[in-house]
């Protein structure tokens, strides 16, 4: 541990490690401080993949996508409230971010689709496994290879400044040892506040009692520290509820399960919504059922295409049966209804038309391959769309819209990009695209100041 670094990065999730790698590549000497005993943050739990348009992998696989369509669909998903400058920068730099990851050994070339998107633009690891673990392992490996110091059990409690210029942080190491470390710039990548129920219920009293899928370190520290320096926030009450969370373990069941073909049924054994509508709409549909939970139903084909299902199975979430009737019995839903639901769905898939709910995606394969599977789910707190306000240079802005000198932020700690509803796969894209930008722009800032 040194007394001074060029750039201090707070939080070792996807955004922080990406920022560190770019700062280093741009000639800086960065350090990362992480309050938890391990690196990875909520990024480790990311399941769907990374959205990007006009990528080389899409081209190779014959998918004709456009940045404009990615922009339009994200804006529609966010109910037109997204920060459009941020969004433009995001879509236009998405393919480059996929290439950058590929260049450092993190190849995301297996494509799927998430709710609200019309094209396969969700990039996953080749074997279809969850993106989070793969990404964190890959980033950590690069951080180590680059010799970037990363301290765990190092909780930043304050960002320090003199005359409006940020110049370091105060850290508590191992819960006891307080130290001040100085730097020419600080990058805040502390993630969201999905585990801070006090703050959540302060901004959204209606969410009392919901489970959260977030890791315990997601408590909004960065937001508080930035507010203390005059930074401003946006969309703090925009909290994403994910529709498919296993309740007993608060474990997220990834959207790829639906993207690869699963349907949702009610306690009556009937479909009740377009399963690949945006997360807010699917959540509302589940909450409108009298039982307020639903069941994902899928077949062996989905199971083989979504690697994460092995993990769900290991955790004891997956109910299986050789026939639909037997599955219905285990689920305690009327067998006739479930049989009829499956038949209707399979014929909708073959016609590529869902007359009941207008689903148009995740219909490449029907659900006719025994054995059959089910996972019971209900909505849970998943992501905080709001956060501190930044510009496309990742500079943290004050109430007058001016940058706070030497202060940068990226990832879930920031707000604006997603508007009122985040599309699955867009947060991984955000942490890479804006994490890179934070590394590059903090390095530029330091060089210009010298
Ligand atoms: P993102 O997806 O934006 O990268 P993550 O949740 O993956 O966000 O990572 C944020 C990381 O920041 C987590 O590992 C979290 O434990 C860490 N963190 C949060 N607050 C602090 C803090 N005060 N000091 C150091 N690390 C922090």
pLDDT tens-digit profile of 383-428? 999 999 999 999 999 999 999 999 999 999 999 999 999 999 999 9
Angle at 261 between CA 258 and CA 266, to 5 degrees: 65
Q: Give the pLDDT band of residue 162 (cuts 50, 70, 90).
A: very high
- Phi/psi of residue 361, nearest 5 degrees: -125, 170
The pLDDT of residue 296 is above 90: yes
Domains 4-194+385-449 and 243-381 share a fold: no
Nearest atom in ligand 1 to 191's CA: 8
51-75 pLDDT, tens per residue? 999 999 999 999 999 999 999 999 9
The active-site residue, picked from 121, 124, 271, 279, is 279
Residue whose Cα lies nearest atom 14 of ligand 1: it is 41
- Phi/psi of residue 42, nearest 5 degrees: -70, -20
Q: Which residues are 169's β-sheet partners?
A: 159, 181
Instruction: Confirm if 413 and 189 have CB atoms less than 8 A apart.
Output: yes
How confident is the prediction for the chain on average, in pLDDT? 97
The pLDDT of residue 129 is above 90: no
Cα(163) to ligand 1 centroid in Å equals 27
pLDDT score at 130 = 86
pLDDT score at 200 = 97
Nearest atom in ligand 1 to 412's CA: 3
Nearest atom in ligand 1 to 156's CA: 24
Among candidate residues 71, 60, 127, 72, the one with its CA nearest the CA of residue 98: 60
**Does residue 371 have a cis bond before it (omega within 30 degrees)?**
yes
Per-residue three-class SS string for the chain: CCCEEEEEEECCCHHHHHHHHHHHHCCCCEEEECCCCCCCHHHHHCCCCEECCCCHHHHHCCCCCCHHHHHHHHHHHCCCCCCHHHHHHHHHCHHHHHHHHHHCCCCCCEEECCCCCCCCCEEECCCCCCHHHHHHHHHHHHHHHCCCCEECCEEEEEEEEECCEEEEEEEEECCCEEEEEEEEEEEECCCCCCCCHHHHHHHCHHHCCCCECCCCCCCCHHHHHHHCCCECEECCCCEEEEEEEECCCCEECCCHHHHCCCEEECCCCCCCCCCCCCHHHHHHHHHCCCCCCEEEEEEHHHHHHCCHHHHHHHCCCCEEECCHHHHHHHHCCCHHHHHHHHHHHHHHHHHCCCCCCCCCCCCCCCCCCCCEEEEEEEEEEEEECCEECECCCCEEEECCCCEEEEEEECCCCECCCCCCCCCCCHHHHHHHHHHHHHHHHHHHHHHHHC
Cα(195) to ligand 1 centroid in Å equals 12
Cα(50) to ligand 1 centroid in Å equals 19
Instruction: Confirm if 427 and 413 have CB atoms less than 8 A apart.
Output: no
pLDDT score at 259 = 93
328-361 pLDDT, tens per residue? 999 999 999 999 999 999 999 999 999 999 999 9
Among candidate residues 185, 146, 159, 163, the one with its CA nearest the CA of residue 450: 185
- Phi/psi of residue 256, nearest 5 degrees: -60, -25
Residue whose Cα lies nearest atom 11 of ligand 1: it is 11
Per the structure block, which two tokens stand in for 143?
């951080």
Largest CA-CA distance found in the chain, in angstroms, rounded: 74
Cα(226) to ligand 1 centroid in Å equals 14
Residue whose Cα lies nearest atom 20 of ligand 1: it is 190
Token pair 């997220």: residue: 252
> What was the ipTM of the complex prediction?
0.99
Q: Which CATH number fits domain 4-194+385-449: 3.40.30.10, 1.10.3720.10, 3.30.930.10, 3.50.50.60?
A: 3.50.50.60
CA distances from 354 to 294, 346, 351 (A): 19, 10, 8
pLDDT score at 375 = 98
Nearest atom in ligand 1 to 40's CA: 14
pLDDT score at 8 = 99
What is the C-alpha to C-alpha distance for residues 439 and 450, in angstroms, rounded to an integer? 17
pLDDT score at 284 = 96
Average pLDDT over residues 297-321: 96
Instruction: Confirm if 158 and 225 have CB atoms less than 8 A apart.
Output: yes
| Extents of the domains making up the chain | 4-194+385-449, 243-381
Residue whose Cα lies nearest atom 2 of ligand 1: it is 43
Is 88 part of the annotated catalytic residue set? no
Average pLDDT over residues 245-272: 96
CA distances from 373 to 149, 242, 285, 291, 336 (A): 45, 21, 22, 20, 17
Q: Give the pLDDT band of residue 317 (cuts 50, 70, 90).
A: very high
Instruction: Confirm if 67 and 94 have CB atoms less than 8 A apart.
Output: yes
What is the C-alpha to C-alpha distance for residues 271 and 295, in angstroms, rounded to an integer? 10
pLDDT score at 194 = 97
Report the pocket of ligand 1 as residue ranges, CB < 6 Å: 10-16, 33-36, 41-43, 155-156, 189-191, 217-218, 221, 411-413, 431
The mean-pLDDT minimum among 205-209, 262-266, 399-403 falls in: 205-209
Instruction: Confirm if 98 and 55 have CB atoms less than 8 A apart.
Output: yes
Residue whose Cα lies nearest atom 3 of ligand 1: it is 411
Share of the chain above pLDDT 90, in %: 98
Angle at 221 between CA 279 and CA 168, to 5 degrees: 135
Q: Which CATH number fits domain 243-381: 3.40.50.720, 2.60.120.680, 3.90.700.10, 3.30.70.250?
A: 3.90.700.10
Cα(32) to ligand 1 centroid in Å equals 10
Instruction: Confirm if 214 and 40 have CB atoms less than 8 A apart.
Output: no
Distance of CA 402 to the CA centre of its chain: 28
The pLDDT of residue 209 is above 90: no
pLDDT score at 319 = 98
The pLDDT of residue 128 is above 90: no
């Amino acid at each position: 541990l040194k007394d001074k670094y060029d750039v201090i990065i707070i939080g070792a999730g996807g955004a922080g490690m990406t920022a560190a790698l770019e700062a280093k590549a741009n000639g800086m000497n960065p350090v990362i401080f992480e309050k938890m005993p391990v690196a990875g943050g909520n990024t480790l739990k990311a399941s769907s993949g990374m959205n990007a348009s006009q990528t080389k992998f899409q081209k190779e696989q014959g998918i004709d996508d456009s940045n404009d369509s990615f922009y339009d669909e994200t804006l529609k998903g966010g109910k037109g409230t997204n920060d459009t400058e941020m969004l433009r920068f995001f879509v236009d730099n998405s393919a480059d971010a996929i290439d950058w990851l590929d260049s450092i050994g993190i190849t995301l070339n297996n494509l799927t689709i998430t709710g609200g998107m019309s094209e396969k633009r969700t990039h996953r690891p080749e074997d279809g496994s969850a993106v989070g673990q793969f990404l964190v392992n890959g980033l950590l490996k690069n951080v180590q290879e680059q010799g970037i110091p990363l301290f765990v059990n190092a909780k930043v409690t304050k960002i320090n400044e003199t005359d409006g210029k940020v110049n370091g942080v105060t850290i508590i190491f191992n819960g006891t040892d307080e130290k001040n470390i100085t730097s020419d710039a600080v990058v805040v990548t502390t993630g969201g506040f999905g585990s801070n129920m006090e703050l959540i219920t302060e901004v959204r009293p209606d969410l009392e009692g919901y489970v959260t899928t977030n890791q315990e370190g997601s408590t909004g520290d960065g937001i508080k520290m930035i507010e203390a320096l005059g930074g401003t926030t946006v969309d703090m009450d925009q909290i994403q509820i994910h529709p498919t969370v296993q309740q007993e373990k608060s474990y997220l069941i990834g959207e790829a399960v639906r993207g690869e073909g699963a349907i949702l049924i009610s306690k009556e054994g009937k479909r009740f919504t377009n399963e690949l509508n945006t997360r807010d709409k699917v959540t509302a549909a589940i909450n409108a059922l009298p039982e307020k939970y639903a069941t994902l139903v899928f077949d062996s084909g989905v199971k083989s295409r979504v690697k994460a299902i092995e993990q769900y199975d290991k955790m004891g979430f997956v109910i299986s049966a050789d026939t639909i009737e037997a599955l219905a019995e285990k689920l305690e839903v009327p067998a006739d209804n479930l049989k009829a639901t499956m038949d209707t769905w399979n014929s909708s898939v073959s016609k590529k038309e869902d007359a009941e709910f207008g689903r148009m995606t995740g219909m490449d394969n029907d659900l006719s391959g025994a054995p059959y599977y089910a996972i019971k789910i209900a909505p849970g707190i998943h992501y905080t769309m709001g956060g501190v306000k930044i510009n496309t240079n990742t500079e943290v802005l004050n109430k007058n819209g001016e940058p706070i000198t030497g202060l940068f932020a990226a990832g879930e700690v920031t707000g604006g990009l997603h508007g009122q509803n985040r599309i699955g796969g867009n947060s991984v894209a955000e942490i890479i695209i804006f994490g890179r930008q934070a590394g590059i722009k903090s390095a530029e800032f330091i060089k210009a100041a010298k």
